[in-house]
Structure 1
Amino acid sequence: MKKFLPLLLLLVASVFIFSCKDDDDDYVQVDVDYPAVYDLRNVNFSYNSTDGWHYGQNFNNPMLDQDYVIIFRQTGTTGNSPVWQQIPRTLYLNEGELDYDFDFSKNDFMIYAGGTYDISTTPQYLNNQTFRVVLVPAVYGKNANSEDLKKMTYEEVIAKYKINDSKVGTL
């Protein structure tokens, strides 16, 4: 009996050790199979009475529900480097206010242009525009706060979420 008690204790302890759940099992590692940064060049907005001035695009692969999209508009260049401005953004022009905004789902996004004047009179803001679409994948941005993201520059977003923008994709 004295030899049996230590074996019984060892058996009971091993059942508890192997039945404990590791908290890391709650997280599934998902390979992100899309680039985190896309360029949209030569974007021309189109008009309809439902959406106003808009440009829409589907993603090559659906995003995860937790992923977040940030869109920047190229406003110019400094040297050979593009200057990016996050949208939504209001431009204050002599003609009035021009607004860029967007929405997104896991399958697509839509960029909108609207204003306090007839924006068709300023086609330079509707045609041949360049945008950069940045995805903050759930695996990088699980702690992303959308309000914080809205205040960040392009460089801050790339640095904070360690997004590799050396290979910019296209849609």
Structure 2
Amino acid sequence: MKKFLPMLLLAFVSLFIFSCKDDNEDFDTYSKVADVTGSFNNGNGYAFTQGINIQGTDVVLVYRWLGDSWQQIPKMMYLSSNREFQYNFVFDSKNVQVRIDDENFDLATLNASEATQYLSNQRFRIVLVPASAAKGTSAVDTSDYNAVIKYYNLNDSNVKNVKVN
């Protein structure tokens, strides 16, 4: 009995030591990639929404396709005659809204060439990732789309594209 009590105490203490692991890793988030294409116009308020399903601890990154690379938004666009607007986005656990903020001028005044370049059939890539990097690693540069894809080991070779309008 004298040897049994210390062994029982040791087993009891070790239960708490191993069950209280504090590694701050996010094991409930699975990184995902999705594309959404839409046109901005006065009728949709220069915004469109894509449904998502994320936890409160997840992060949404959004990139705009430039024809040969991805550019992270928000991004300010500077046009002639001191006109500017910004591609932007907001999100919650159910939706991502991609929009244009245009406090400086009316987007309806864009000429046909500008409207085609900046408003029509704009493609955005939505990337859902855990809010914190894995313990023991440095944070990834989220402005670099390729670094994000590599860091989270995402396959972006066959991403589903949703047309929203």
**TM-score, with length taken from structure 1:** 0.71
Are 1:158 and 2:149 an aligned pair?
Answer: yes
Pair member with larger Rg = 1
Q: Secondary structure at the match of 1:113?
A: strand
Are 1:118 and 2:129 an aligned pair?
Answer: no
More strand per residue: 1 or 2?
1
- Contact kept? 2:89, 2:99, Cα under 8 Å: yes
In structure 2, what is the equivalent of residue 92 of structure 1?
78
Does 23-32 or 108-117 show the bigger shift?
Answer: 23-32
In structure 2, what is the equivalent of residue 169 of structure 1?
160
Whose relative contact order is higher, 1 or 2, with alpha carbons under 8 Å and at least 6 apart? 2
1:16 CA drift (Å): 3.0
In structure 1, what is the equivalent of residue 35 of structure 2?
39
User: What per-residue deviation string (whole Å, max 9, x for no partner) do you get for residues 61-85 of structure 1?
Assistant: x2111111111111122xxxxx111
Q: Which amino acid letter does the alignment assign opposite residue 85 of structure 2?
A: L
Distance 2:86 2:63 in 1: 13
User: What per-residue deviation string (whole Å, max 9, x for no partner) do you get for residues 104-155 of structure 1?
Assistant: 00100111113322222232211111111111135x7467999x53xx2111
Q: Which amino acid letter does the alignment assign opposite residue 149 of structure 2?
A: I
- Size of the aligned set, in residue pairs, is 153
**TM-score, with length taken from structure 2:** 0.74
Choose from 104, 126, 129 the match for 1:133. Answer: 126
Q: Secondary structure at the match of 1:76?
A: coil
Q: Percent identity?
A: 30
Root-mean-square deviation (CA), in Å? 3.2
Distance 1:90 1:106 in 2: 26
Distance 1:54 1:74 in 2: 17
User: What per-residue deviation string (whole Å, max 9, x for no partner) do you get for residues 44-98 of structure 1?
Assistant: 12436xx842111212xx2111111111111122xxxxx1111111111125112
Choose from 18, 22, 26 the match for 2:19. Answer: 22
Q: Which amino acid letter does the alignment assign opposite residue 107 of structure 2?
A: I
Q: Secondary structure at the match of 2:72?
A: strand
Q: Secondary structure at the match of 1:163?
A: coil
- Contact kept? 2:33, 2:126, Cα under 8 Å: yes
In structure 2, list runs of 5 or more residues that go unmatched.
none
Distance 1:97 1:28 in 2: 39
Distance 1:106 1:135 in 2: 11
